[in-house]
């Protein structure tokens, strides 16, 4: 059963805690900005172990600083798009909108590595962990839902309805926004693949899609979450 709430360490302020540790963080992961050819931020892993998670907040450069975007790099939650970043490797992400880019600057808040070491603001490290735990719990919950659907030979429409109901209940069961978005991501991915399995004007067969596509992918997803976060079993 999903936990009612995921405990997070309280944050002091948006940039205060990071300011004390900023130099130590950038010795592990460096951050560079560029406006050409298009505005982007490049992160480089300077640590000996692959980078598995990172949180960067883009803020306005002028005081008072205002956060405008939170960027996550997570090899557990998004293992196909954010693979572990090896030592010396770099990854770039766009900054926008382009007309605002010159007035934005990145703040590296937290980093985590595959050897289990993590550095940075405790609140954001907790958020990174909570997102992964929430995704893994949702994978387990949706797996149980799908196995029940197979046992009861439910139609695609019935399975999709159950997933919609489950998604609608997340606001109450997962009140924290970042973990809830991770859980929603799992359900939305499942829904999209069930819908995609059907032909245009036809209905897909859950008895094929679930065991051949979704459950094997869930197994890979769970393994990626475990590699990125040793506390997940």
DSSP string, the chain: ---S----PPPS-TTHHHHHHHHHHHHHEEEEEE-SSS-EEEEEE-SSS-EEEEEEEEEESSSSP-EEEEEEEETTTTTTTS--B-TT-EEEEE-SSTTTGGGEEEEEEEEEETTS-EEE-HHHHHHHHHHHHHHHHHHHHHHHHHHHHHHTT--HHHHHHHHHHHHHTHHHH--SHHHHHHHHHHHHHHHHHHHHHSPTTS---HHHHIIIIIHHHHHHHHHHHHHH-TT--
What's the CA gap between 192 and 94, in Å, rounded? Answer: 26
What's the CA gap between 109 and 121, in Å, rounded? Answer: 6
Tell me what pLDDT residue 37 has. Answer: 82
Tell me what pLDDT residue 207 has. Answer: 87
Tell me what pLDDT residue 22 has. Answer: 52
Q: Provide the residue-wise pLDDT of the chain in tens; the chain has 233 residues.
A: 344 333 333 333 333 333 335 557 889 999 998 888 888 999 999 999 999 999 999 888 777 677 778 999 999 999 999 999 999 999 999 887 767 778 888 999 999 999 999 999 999 999 999 999 999 999 999 999 999 999 999 998 999 999 999 999 999 999 999 999 999 999 999 999 998 875 444 456 888 889 989 999 999 999 999 999 988 98
What's the CA gap between 131 and 99, in Å, rounded? Answer: 31
Q: Is 193 exposed, middle or buried (CB count within 10 Å of its CB: 0-12, 13-18, 19+)?
A: middle
Task: Name which of 161, 169, 170 is nearest 190 in CA terms.
Answer: 161
Number of Cβ within 10 Å of residue 39's Cβ equals: 18
Q: CA geometry: angle at 233 spanning 214 and 188, to 5°?
A: 30
Tell me what pLDDT residue 145 has. Answer: 97
Write down the residue that tokens 């069930």 correspond to. Answer: 194
Which tokens go with 186? 């799992």
Q: What is the b/e burial string over 160-169, where b = at least 16 CB atoms within 10 angstroms of the residue's CB?
A: bebbeebbee
Tell me what pLDDT residue 66 has. Answer: 78
Task: Name which of 126, 104, 118 is nearest 24 in CA terms.
Answer: 118
């Amino acid at each position: 059963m999903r936990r009612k709430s995921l405990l997070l360490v309280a944050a002091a302020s948006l940039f205060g805690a990071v300011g004390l540790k900023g130099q130590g963080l950038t010795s592990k992961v460096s951050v560079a900005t560029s406006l050409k050819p298009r505005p982007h931020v490049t992160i480089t892993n300077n640590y000996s172990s692959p980078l598995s998670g990172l949180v960067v907040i883009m803020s306005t450069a002028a005081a008072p600083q205002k956060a405008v975007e939170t960027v996550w790099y997570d090899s557990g939650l998004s293992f196909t798009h954010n693979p572990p970043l090896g030592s010396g490797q770099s990854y770039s992400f766009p900054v926008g909108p382009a007309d605002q880019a010159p007035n934005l600057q990145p703040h590296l808040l937290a980093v985590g590595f595959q050897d289990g070491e993590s550095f940075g603001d405790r609140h954001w490290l907790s958020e990174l962990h909570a997102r992964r735990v929430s995704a893994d719990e949702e994978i387990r919950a949706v797996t149980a839902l799908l196995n029940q659907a197979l046992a009861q030979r439910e139609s695609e429409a019935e399975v999709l309805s159950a997933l919609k109901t489950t998604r609608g209940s997340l606001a109450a069961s997962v009140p924290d926004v970042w973990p809830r978005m991770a859980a929603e991501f799992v359900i939305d991915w499942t829904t999209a693949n069930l819908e995609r399995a059907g032909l245009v004007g036809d209905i897909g067969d859950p008895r094929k899609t679930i065991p051949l596509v979704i459950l094997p992918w869930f197994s890979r997803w769970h393994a990626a979450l475990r590699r990125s976060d040793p506390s997940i079993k």
